[in-house]
Chains A and B, each alone.
Chain A
Amino acid sequence: MTAERILEVAGVHKSFDKNKVLDGVDLDLDRHEVVCLIGASGSGKSTLLRCINLLERVDEGDIRFEGASIAREVKDVDRLRSRIGMVFQAFNLFPHMNVMHNITLGPEEALGLDRREAKERAEALLERFGLSDKSEEYPDRLSGGQQQRVAIVRALAMRPQMLLLDEVTSALDPELVAEVLTLIRELAEEGMTMLIATHEMGFAKDIAHRVAFLDAGKILEEGPPAKIFEEPENERTRRFLQRIIAAGRL
């Protein structure tokens, strides 16, 4: 099997004022691969995802998506973003639009689909993830878990080449986490390429092809989940996982 490289992150640095958040990150992703980014809050997970989606510009280093460098000169930022889906910790649904409209906005306005096509696409996705009865609801009326599932559907409606998930269950009540993780697992089984920043270690262990441990803006260790979780090489990885185990999260 020759894997196709979809994303290459090389030596990426990013600071906010004097605060160095990313300090030389290297990370590659193949198509159909699921990589989980783990690490303490503030280790740079979100910033890395935001850099890949060009919501932040990198200071140094390069990011290549589907072979082309996107870190510096991108002719069409909007088109690039429409090919990379992003799901946020706080859902970020549009509160003034119902579920259907939240999902069709991107396909209609960024991809230029006509209303009927966009609607069909949305309906099919809602149906598939058991959200059909919510299509007329406004986000405020949905549970956190439903909102996050809608946010994932919204990203999927763009038919992205890759999904970036930024701690998508961190804002959820514990009993609502499972429904979101189940959906993500389904996507993984289908071969969706995903880069997932997460605190759900059990989930990462389960779903990831590779796990990368990010600490103080650097990837200290990466490898198959079995290796990272069972026999971490780096001292800091070990200590991080011990704290997680002590907190009963693994």
Chain B
Amino acid sequence: MADATSVRPRLSSGLVPRRQAWAHRLVISPTVLSIVVLGLYPLLFILAAAFSDSTLGKPFRDWVGTENFELVLADGDIVASFARTVLYALAISIVSVILGVVIALSLERATRSGSVVRTVLLLPLITPPVVVGTLWKLVFNPGGGLLDTLLRGVGVEGASVAPLSSTFWALPAIGLADVWQWTPLITLLVYAALLTQDGAVTEAAALDGAHGFGLFRHITWPAIAGTVAAVFFVRLVIALKVFDLVFIMTSGGPGQASTTTSYVIYQVALKEFDVGRASAITLLFAVIVTLITLPVAALTRKLSHD
């Protein structure tokens, strides 16, 4: 069928005349060039600044070699934020993906749900993070927020519940807001992938007696695996960069409990005016992000070319 074969790129077999390929490349090169240049310029700036003594008012005052990196790596709080951010991102992404897949499957199964349901499910995704942060800050407000009110309503006595002030619960609370916001993206993309499944294959399998988990494992999952991996990648990167929610909900507190790396960079660059050190942190974090996402990206490519 047209769908099955068109998914596979024909480049390996199809020969594009060499001259034509060059012309094509040239046509689109301004485009690619502009992305590369504009993406590269800040990147080069950060690279250079990391090896310099740069302040917000005076970048590149002096070259200091690896001093910024040494300072950063010796700072226990910053290193802790790396670990914290990575763990946070992994946990959030896994939870989001599982929830997203489950909801997408349910959406596909519940054929009479209609577009209203889909629209409503999409709403958290299109809400600006500052609004999401505001909303959940209100929910978690110890002085009468939704959570506090509900718990008192069911009779929980004692001190007010304040997740955002608890060193243990602050980050999970932010994570809850994060998951609430981004799971619809996963639902959307997986649902779309489910819809592109070949209906005939599924029906045939069902007729053969495949159902439930077996159906999922052998028919559904292979069809969406590539999408799930790709969306896990996107979700992971977004989660690693989380800033707006931390900014609105906790300012990184209490203590260091919710201080993610993005927030550290913000603090060092814009509150301590130290662009050199902030660049060093950004680069170190970039290395970490690459190390983590490389396997995921490879997995994505493998699963989508199967």
Q: Do A and B come from one complex?
A: no
Give residues in B with beta carbon < 8 Å to A.
none
Give residues in A with beta carbon < 8 Å to B.
none
